[in-house]
Every structure is written in C-alpha cells, then in structure tokens.
Amino acid sequence: MPKPKLELGSAPEGFRSGFVSIIGRPNVGKSTLLNQILRNKVAITSDRPQTTRNAIRGVYTTDEAQLVFVDTPGMHRPRTELGRRLNRVVRDTIDEVDVTAFLVDATGVGKGDAFIASELRRHSARVLVVLNKIDVVTPRALAKASADATALLPDVAPFGISARTGDGVEDLVRALVAAVPEGPVLYPPDALTDQSQTQSVAELIREKALELTREEVPHSIAVVVEDMTEDRVIASIFVERSSQKGIVIGKRGSMLKEIGTRARRDIELLLGHGVYLDLVVKVAPDWQSKDASLERFGYGS
Ligand SMILES: Nc1nc2c(ncn2[C@@H]2O[C@H](COP(=O)(O)OP(=O)(O)OP(=O)(O)O)[C@@H](O)[C@H]2O)c(=O)[nH]1
Ligand SMILES: [Mg+2]
C-alpha cells in the first residue's frame, strides 16, 4: 500500500519531528554539515571564521521524520558588537531546540570547545557530540580528539563524521531522528529553508567576497540586495574603511569583476535562469560596532 502523502500539521503514526541546532566554534564545518545533510547549498561556507551570521533553518524530511536544523554562527570570544550579537543568536538557539549537534574539529579540541560545552551543560536539550573532518586526521589524532571531547561531555559517545565527504553523516542523522519526539509535520514536506531568495542571493555574493579576500577584510564585509527583479540583481558590498573598498574593487575593477562572475554563477543555479548582476562597493565606517548598521544588515538585535 502506498504511504499517505505527508501534509503540514498532520501527524502520521510513529512520525518524529523536532528542532536540531548545529553548534560549535567558528570554522568547524557546521554549515558544510547542514548542506551535506540536505544535499543542497542552503548555507554559505568558507575557511574564513564567522562565515555564518544568522540562525539559518534547513528542513530535512523523510516519510518517517522531519528534522528542522538550525545552523548557527560560530561561538567565539567577541571583540565587536557584531560578535556579541552572533553569540546571542547561538544562545537563543540552544534554548529553543530539542537536540543539539555539538560539532568539534577532529584536528584539535581546545578551550573554545570547553567553553561551549559548559554553556551546553546549562541547558536542557539533548546533546550529540560530533567530531568533524575525520577525512584529514590520522587514527591516532582521532582517538585523542575523541578522548578530549568525551572529557568535555562524559555522558555522550562522540560521532565521527566528515561533513565534506559525507562519511558517517547517515548514522548521525539516524541518531538525531531517534532523539526527537514523536510529533507532526512542522514545515511543508518540500520546504528546504526559511531564508528568503533575497537573503540567499546576498549570502552567495558575500561568500565569493570572503573567498577572494583575506586577513581582516572578510570580517568587514556585509552585503545588501538593494533591488531584485526577475532578471536583475542590484547589490551593495559594504566594507568598513576606504582602504578595504580599494581591495574589494581591485586593480581596474578586477576583484569586483571576479566576485561578480563567481556570484552570478551560483545565483543563476539558485534561481534557475540567467540574471544581470550589478555590484557596487560602499563604506559603512565601523559598522560592526554600530547598532543601526547591524540592524540594517540584518544582524540580530
Ligand atoms: N577536510 C574537511 N574540511 C571540512 C569539513 N567540513 C568543513 N570543512 C571545511 O572547513 C571550513 C569551514 O567550513 P564551514 O562549514 O564554513 O564552517 P562553519 O562551522 O559553518 O563556520 P562559521 O560559520 O564561520 O562558524 C571550510 O573550508 C570547509 O570546506 C570536513 O569534513 N573535512
Ligand atoms: Mg557556518
């Protein structure tokens, strides 16, 4: 007999559903894991810290369960108002989920992880510890990381995964499904994310700008889509100083052109058709420390 079609709000017998946060230090691979589980690029990723700046929901639905993942910014020692707001996003998320996937980097467990573990211990949600990047560690290093992670949260045996290759991810998802309660379909079964198309487009542009800049420039970049029609996107790339503006524009505009070329490719994949992308670079002095700018760029309250 064919299974009945899943519908928003329905609760088929034995169906499980719940919220799962993905928490961890900057750069441990949280967003890569979300994309791997959903087999779609929902969150941007990069090897620059603080890539993720909002809580991004990604919905995973099967006939048996629905997990609403919440990818979060990397928890870190803040130096700016932006950093404080990002940490607040993480703390608020921990409070609202059924389960937390606590990601640590298998190449080394450190003080930052210990701090996050202490935060997690103060909350009631279940925690699964996940050692990521097992594709790049020796068995000996993995055993050490596993022991160090177990010392932080002794009640839970860590999962070893590679968010990049997908190794171990199926087992992790199975354990997460088992950890959420029985419940109804929370999002339409074909939903993928709660991000608007405009937000996704702004994020793709930011991803390319991060990819192509270094040192303090990536931290200083924010992107706003000013106008978006069927075939045209007009967006501003904000930086904090005029010297950074020069870097992002590049020699005779070469850097901005490259950002645009790479971003357009991904935007066209997202939208499914060609677009004209118009980028300008603007300076918003010290925006990371200014409430009005942070709100304009959509970075919490
Ligand atoms: N080798 C390897 N690299 C990985 C793996 N997962 C993620 N990475 C890389 O690690 C870097 C950071 O990945 P992200 O997914 O952006 O990390 P994040 O935890 O979301 O980072 P923030 O949003 O800044 O907190 C990227 O260069 C990824 O390609 C993995 O399993 N193996
Ligand atoms: Mg991220």
Q: Is 139 exposed, middle or buried (0-12, 13-18, 19+ CB in 10 A)?
A: exposed
Short-list 236, 238, 240, 242, CA closest to 216: 240
What is residue 156's predicted lDDT score, i.e. its pLDDT? Answer: 85
In the three-class reduction of DSSP (H, G, I as helix; E, B as strand; rest coil), residue 11 is classed as coil
pLDDT at 224: 97
Please give the C-alpha separations between residue 169 and each of 131, 196, 211, in angstroms, as whole numbers. 11, 27, 26
Distance from residue 36's CA to the centre of ligand 2 (Å) = 13
Q: Which residues surround ligand 2, an ion (CB under 5 A)?
A: 30-31, 51-52
Ligand 1, residue 34: give the atom nearest the CA: 15
pLDDT digit string (tens) for 69-78?
999 999 999 9
The closest alpha carbon to 186, from 103, 37, 70, belongs to 70
Residue in this structure with the two tokens 């490719």, named with its chain if needed = 265
> Which residues of the chain have a pLDDT value below 50?
none
Cα 295 to Cα 77, 175, 245: the distances in Å are 21, 37, 21
The model's pLDDT over 159-202, given as tens digits with 9 standing for 90+, comes to 999 999 999 999 999 999 999 999 999 999 999 999 999 999 99
Nearest-atom number in ligand 1 for the CA of 26 is 25
Q: Is the C-beta atom of 49 inside 6 A of ligand 1? A: yes
Q: What atom in ligand 1 is closest to the CA of residue 167?
A: 31
Query: Taking all residues of the chain, what is their mean pLDDT, rounded to a whole number?
Result: 96
| pTM for this model (two decimals) | 0.97
Cβ(27) to ligand 1 under 6 A?
yes
Angle at 194 between CA 75 and CA 55, to 5 degrees: 10
C-alpha angle 261-267-272 in degrees, rounded to nearest 5: 125
- Atom 12 in ligand 1: which residue has the minimum CA distance? 27
Q: Cα separation of 184 and 16, whole Å?
A: 7
Asked if residue 21 lies in contact with residue 187, where contact means CB atoms within 8 angstroms, the answer is no
- Which ligand 1 atom lies nearest to the CA of residue 136? 1
φ/ψ of residue 129, rounded to 5: -90, 130
Query: Rounded distance, CA 280 to CA 257, Å?
Result: 10
Measure 53 CA to ligand 2 centroid, in angstroms: 8
> What pLDDT does 300 receive?
77
What's the gap in Å between 13 CA and the centre of ligand 2? 35
Report which of 88, 96, 187, 106 is spatially closest to residue 145, judged by C-alpha positions: 106
Q: What domains can be seen in the chain, in order of their start residue?
A: 16-179 (3.40.50.300), 197-296 (3.30.300.20)
Residue 35, ligand 1, Cβ within 6 A = no
Using most ligand atoms within 8 A of CB, pick from 21, 27, 33, 133 the residue to mutate for ligand 1: 27
Residues 160 and 146 sit within 8 Å (Cβ to Cβ): yes
Question: According to the model, what pLDDT value does residue 2 have?
Answer: 62
Coil, strand or helix at 83: helix
Query: Two tokens at 215?
Result: 């040192």
> Angle at which helices 111-121 and 81-96 pack, to 10 degrees?
40
Supply the pLDDT for residue 164.
98
First to last CA, the chain: 50
